[in-house]
Structure 1
């Protein structure tokens, strides 16, 4: 572990916390070629045109196809001092002079030289093109060092003259003693930095660049006060995070308020932990599979990225407003101040659009958050929020700011089914207190805002049915069919079929059966089969029982109802006495019914279910002309299980009379 640079060497060499474009790897060393390439790159990192706090140059390692090559090539140990002296000497040719930080390291028993080049406080710098070449301004574009003037970036670079990002400035109104050493060392241990073993506290502060010597004494930098003091608000009034939870309805009453204080990373972790308690998981088993599918009301990766971006990109300079997180029943809003820099347009924040490479507002805050693995590479936050919301089945996130750019707001809509669950709970309470019309109005309002919610569609259809408003119920089905998920459409159709039949509209119910959606899950097909039986539509019932597939094989009720459907269809075929095909179909259906009933009797189910299964089996065996002993035994088993059921005794008596 390095005791010179604060970052963990393993993380650096694996590009875990430093983006690869902030690293320059040189497989070997040659003064005439590699030497001046390194000097130009030092100047480019020092110019830090995007405020990423410079970068690292590693001599003795190779980068190939975007990955670090292992094991490293390494450089001879005896050359390291000479290489450092050469680079130090030639850095004096940089105008104004700039000296990076050197850290000889060993990886896999190979010697390498790490050169840390933090962003400069006195930029811009020029460097020689080659040994006798002119001085030019260099910057980094992606992973390349380029001439700023030739690439049209000189004006942008010159506009940064002597401009130091606020988080990297000296804090003249604070003292080194304001730092909490225990917080600093805890941070270094968390990132597994070798600096944690350095007992010289002031040296640690200097090497972390959270303090700088001025006129013989050390002065803190703002980033150090933001991370490593008990109360950053002493110096930065808005350096806190407020979370407010609101109730539903127009009043929007406050349910709970919490304020998170402390170092930026500490309040960020605490706020994330609190917000995770609002991320409720729901899982549903997939038919014919051991897999499950599910959703959360707010995906954690999206929440984390939105809050991290707020901490990273807000201003701490003369900005009294804290980060605000508003928890509404149907969304979370994360607001930071001020808005984005000019040059970022709202369309830049739409999915798939790259953000313009403008300088970051804070260069040190992002670096520390990345080292703690709380933040990732530049430009990854917005795409990750979109991806996380999409994978969860949530509506798209929204990003907005006003024309004056006084704020930046990220809105994460809740998962539609979570909104549905919340509305259903509220409606159930209203109905329990006799406020049925208010409950209907609440569900109707929720549905109109989330017309792709199957749960709300089914509830609203049912509530309209109770009111006798069948036409309104049908309009809900039609709207969902146009806007909702095809996967969930069968559930809504089943609800409407049930509604039609119960309300005395059998022909309309049958029409829906005829045009039933082709994409249907096993559980939905089973539900449709049972509804069809209740309607007396045995042919449709048989079709949907078959579409349910293996899902019915572990369900005693479904098996018995399927058997009864086959029995009814067999009876219909039996009446066609002169139709040989019909008679063959009759026997096939009866044999299939017998197999299903025998399976029910082998299952662990209640006495009533088994009793009726024995009774049905007795009838099937009678129609199949089974031995009399088997038929009588089946009836007797039914009577033994339910001796109080008179119909079993009557059926047995009738069968005996027919046999005489």
Structure 2
């Protein structure tokens, strides 16, 4: 897996806030998974973070050359992480990348903010009997969430509406530039004037349809709902079902007309639904709109 940022920028804490980077001289699964959980929960909405294993630090600065990790250790770590990942709830998978630096190999764990926050992890991922706990970042450290902080962490799930959450399953290629342009034209947005002179990503950013740090911008769910030709790929059963009872659902419920399901982006579904109602329902009732 390729990292979204240059490894030297991480080691030198450039382009990424220092509290989003943690150096570990060696593999310590319990502490590392506490930090993964804290980055995934992302209480401060900074965009998650990175853990560099095989890197010693001194006064917050990475010591060079890096300490590194043996190849045999990396293979075992990757195998162990398959089981440890299952101890995070709800389900969450961090991204792992071995990186060559200073002639040695280090392991970089990238833990972006999760889309189902908040997350807990077993206090000890290496033992069979343990209890789940919540963890957060406090400045450049990982701490257990307790008291008011724990209450705030538990409220995260209710804080961000589903349509406003970033979704790493959606790529820019899934968004129809034509639909975005037609929407901007319909509402008379000034963004339409520069539409052909900027990238689609820049336009979506201006529309507040991207979320996350600069190195890992995610498209919000609402963007796919509005501008993806087939949003049902990401949101199953995204459709409008219409059942018409010509003689009334109470008077004669056995006679009904099932209209073919209406699918597509939200504006298309709304327009087609209203069109059907105007043509096949309202006119039959002798009404006008």
- Corresponding residue number in structure 1 for 2:260: none
Corresponding residue number in structure 1 for 2:81: 87
- Whole-Å separation in 2 of the counterparts to 1:28 and 1:86: 15
Report the alpha carbon displacement of residue 155 of structure 1 after superposing the two structures with TM.
2.4
Matches within 5 A, 1:427-466: none
* Equivalent position of 2:65 in the other structure: 71
Of residues 316, 319, 328 in structure 1, which corresponds to 2:208? 316
Partner of 1:25: 23
Structure-1-length-normalised TM-score: 0.29
Q: Does 1:157 align with 2:153?
A: yes
Aligned CA RMSD, in angstroms, stands at 3.4
Give the conservation status (yes or no) of the 8 Å contact 1:39–1:87. no
1:107-118 correspondence runs (5 A): 107-118=101-112
Give the match for residue 492 of structure 1.
none
Q: Give the deviation of 1:36 after TM superposition.
A: 0.2
Query: What TM-score do the two structures reach when normalised by structure 2?
Result: 0.61
Counterpart Cα distance in 2 of 1:119 and 1:239: 31
Q: Give, in whole Å, the separation in 1 of the partners of 2:188 and 2:135.
A: 36
When residues 42 and 70 of structure 1 are mapped into structure 2, their CA distance, relative to the original with a 3 A threshold, is: same
- Do structure 1's residue 126 and structure 2's residue 18 form an aligned pair? no
- Counterpart pick for 1:142 among 139, 142, 146: 139
Matches of 1:35 and 1:111, distance apart in 2:
18
8 Å CA contact 1:93–1:128 kept in 2: the answer is yes
Distance 1:64 1:167 in 2: 40
Aligned partners of 2:188, 2:72: CA distance in 1, in Å? 52
| Bigger Cα Rg | 1
The structure with the greater share of residues assigned to strand is: 2
Secondary structure at the aligned position of 1:153 is classed as helix
**Counterparts of 2:56 and 2:12, CA distance in 1:** 12
Inter-CA distance 230–93: structure 2 relative to 1 (3 Å threshold): same
Q: Deviations over 1:463-510 (max 9, x none)?
A: xxxxxxxxxxxxxxxxxxxxxxxxxxxxxxxxxxxxxxxxxxxxxxxx
Gaps of 5+ in 1: 171-208, 213-218, 243-257, 268-310, 318-361, 370-660
The runs of 5 or more residues in structure 2 that have no matched partner are 218-289
Distance 2:188 2:36 in 1: 35
Which residue does the alignment assign to 2:220? none
- Alpha-carbon deviations, 1:502-533, whole Å to 9, x = none? xxxxxxxxxxxxxxxxxxxxxxxxxxxxxxxx
Q: CA deviation at 1:134?
A: 1.7
1:98 to 92, 96, 101: 92
Shift of residue 27 of structure 1?
0.8
Q: CA deviation at 1:104?
A: 0.8
Q: CA deviation at 1:266?
A: 5.5
Change (3 A) 1:101 1:234: farther
Q: Whole-Å Cα distance in 2 between the matches of residues 266 and 112 of structure 1?
A: 34
1:167 deviates by 6.5
Which protein, 1 or 2, shows the higher relative CO under an 8 Å CA cutoff with sep ≥ 6? 2
Q: Higher helix fraction: Structure 1 or Structure 2?
A: 1
* 2:166/2:211 contact within 8 Å kept: no
Change beyond 3 A, Cα 1:65–1:35: same
- Pair 1:263 & 2:261 matched: no
Q: Cα distance 1:365–1:125, how it changes in 2: closer, same or farther (>3 A)?
A: closer
Measure, in 1, the Cα distance between the counterparts of 2:14 and 2:188.
31
Deviation at 1:120, TM superposition (A): 0.9
For 2:140 and 2:42, how far apart are their aligned partners in 1? 13
What's the counterpart of residue 364 of structure 1?
212
Q: Distance in 2 between matches of 1:63 and 1:363?
A: 31
Partner of 2:277: none
Tell me how far apart the structure 1 counterparts of residues 8 and 139 of structure 2 sit (CA, whole Å).
22
